[in-house]
Amino acid sequence: MLRSRLSHALVLVTLLSAPLVAQRGGRGFNPGFRVDPAIEKIPYDGRFSLVRLSFTTNSPIGYYYRGMPAWAHGYPDSERNLMRIVSEISALHPLLDHSTVIAPDDPQLFKYPVAYMAEADYWGMSDKEAECLRAYLKKGGFIIFDDFRDDGRDSFQGWATFTTQMKRVLPDARVVDLTPANPIFHSFFDINSFDIVPQDYDRGRPIFRGVYEDNDPKKRLMVMINFNTDVSNYWEFSARGFKPVAESNEAYKMGVNFIVYALTH
């Protein structure tokens, strides 16, 4: 039944997203210029929104995707489409048709329980931003890191960049590998194997890691790390018909589970 509902929801996303996708143009690489994405200033009204964290792109290579800064890769289609899925299959009534972008040091971030960051391999951060993210996580916030990898395009590796910045946020944090048995993969849908997670363009297997509160596995997971994969790419392009519906559904299951876990722990 849930699979049927998810497939129906994906069809709805396809219909609703088509005009939006058409306006953004085709998928492509940086043609030699930089584009500053238009950011909507959406006042908080109590509805759930998966907020996207903006940050300083620390390498020119980070602008490879349509000339946009690294944090904006997939913006705003990824989170908008995921929110439509969440709205269709759950009792949560999220903000639809708008996306919320917040800087890590913006006090408004503390109004939103779940944040998302793309391309943490190009993550630049000030000391103030690190301090604010630390406070956000310790007060109950949850961050999903997605769409980053070691690919040799830069003089530094993506994982090394991420861990360096994460240590600034949580100096004592230990990053641990997660297995399909972890509760986050069963918070709404049952994901019993990572083999079902589709890989669009990344090579090898996706790696899922996390950081627990006080490094205690008995406490809540407060950081979800999708490494060597781009789960949100399926959210972004689910309206295009590039991939089978079944693959997009599996990626949506991951996103739904992350959100449900974060809101219930």
CATH of residue 84 = 3.40.50.12140
Model confidence at 153: pLDDT above 80 = no
Cα separation, 99 vs 47, whole angstroms: 12
Q: CB 45: neighbour CB atoms within 10 A?
A: 7
pLDDT band at 119 (very low <50, low <70, confident <90, very high): very high
Inter-residue contact 78 to 50 (CB < 8 Å): no
Structural domain total, the chain: 1
| The pLDDT value given to residue 22 | 31
Three-class SS of residue 56?
Answer: strand
| The pLDDT value given to residue 219 | 98
> What average pLDDT score do residues 51-76 get?
94
Cα separation, 90 vs 215, whole angstroms: 31
Digit-coded pLDDT (tens) for 250-264 = 999 999 999 999 999
Task: Name the residue with higher pLDDT: 71 or 28.
Answer: 71
Digit-coded pLDDT (tens) for 198-235 = 999 999 999 999 999 999 999 999 999 999 999 999 99
Residues 6+ apart with CB under 8 A from 203: 228
pLDDT band at 23 (very low <50, low <70, confident <90, very high): very low
Closest CA to 257 of 137, 119, 144, 167: 144
Cα separation, 144 vs 121, whole angstroms: 14
| The pLDDT value given to residue 24 | 31
**Lowest mean pLDDT segment, chosen from 22-31, 54-63, 135-144, 163-172:** 22-31
Determine the distance from the C-alpha atom of residue 169 to the mean position of all C-alpha atoms in its chain, rounded to a whole number: 18
| The pLDDT value given to residue 8 | 59
Mean pLDDT of the chain: 89
Q: Is the peptide bond before 69 cis (omega within 30 degrees of 0)?
A: no
Domain span at 212: 2-186+193-264
pLDDT band at 15 (very low <50, low <70, confident <90, very high): very low
Model confidence at 110: pLDDT above 60 = yes
What is the C-alpha end-to-end distance of the chain, expressed in Å?
A: 26
What pTM, to 2 d.p., does this model score? 0.88
> What average pLDDT score do residues 122-134 get?
97
CA distances to 7, 16, 87, 104, 249 from 12, rounded to whole Å, are 9, 6, 11, 32, 13
| The pLDDT value given to residue 239 | 86
Model confidence at 148: pLDDT above 90 = yes
| The pLDDT value given to residue 26 | 37
Residues 6+ apart with CB under 8 A from 205: 194, 199, 228
